[in-house]
Amino acid sequence: MPAYCFYSQWQPESIKPDLLSRGGGCAVEFYGCALATAGVVLALRGGRGRRKQFDLAQVIPHVVPWHLLVCREQNNELDLATRVCRAWTEEAMAGERRLLNSLDELRRNEIQQKLQVLGQTCVWGAAPDYISAIENAVEPEFPPPVRRIIVIKELNN
């Protein structure tokens, strides 16, 4: 799934408190490394005859601080990858839907067509079989549809 990562720094006093609308102690510093879906980036980039939105006030409501994906209070019985996918769906994808629903139908359809070309259709609820096989040190039944796989595991002390 295409995602964009923003590495930024602002003077804290330049940020209006109402821009930081997420709960859970999201201070301005947490937005220094933030993610956005491809749909959000396409919508903010503008389009034919539309103004690009680069101002912090226009961008920050649509990005997800990185820590929300990995540090949210969630069901710790789930593995890290599942928790990240769930957080991505609840935070980033939900935000994308809200932004796209605020656009006129023509612009929304234009962005959705571009997203289909990019292959952004869903977030997996669980790891694909070939990933599970690799995690369990078993040779996958068929070659995975990717060139490289990096598996990150959460260690419980």
Q: What is the pTM of this model?
A: 0.65
How confident is the model over 9-68, as pLDDT tens digits? Answer: 777 676 776 666 554 456 777 778 888 998 898 888 876 666 666 677 778 788 888 888
Q: Tell me the Cα Rg of the chain.
A: 18
Predicted local confidence at residue 11, as pLDDT: 73
- Which carries the bigger pLDDT value, residue 131 or residue 104? 104
Gap between the Cα atoms of 23 and 72, Å rounded: 11
Predicted local confidence at residue 121, as pLDDT: 47
How confident is the model over 84-127, as pLDDT tens digits? Answer: 888 888 888 888 999 899 988 998 998 888 888 776 445 566 67
- In this prediction, residues 67-81 reach a mean pLDDT of 74
Predicted local confidence at residue 101, as pLDDT: 92
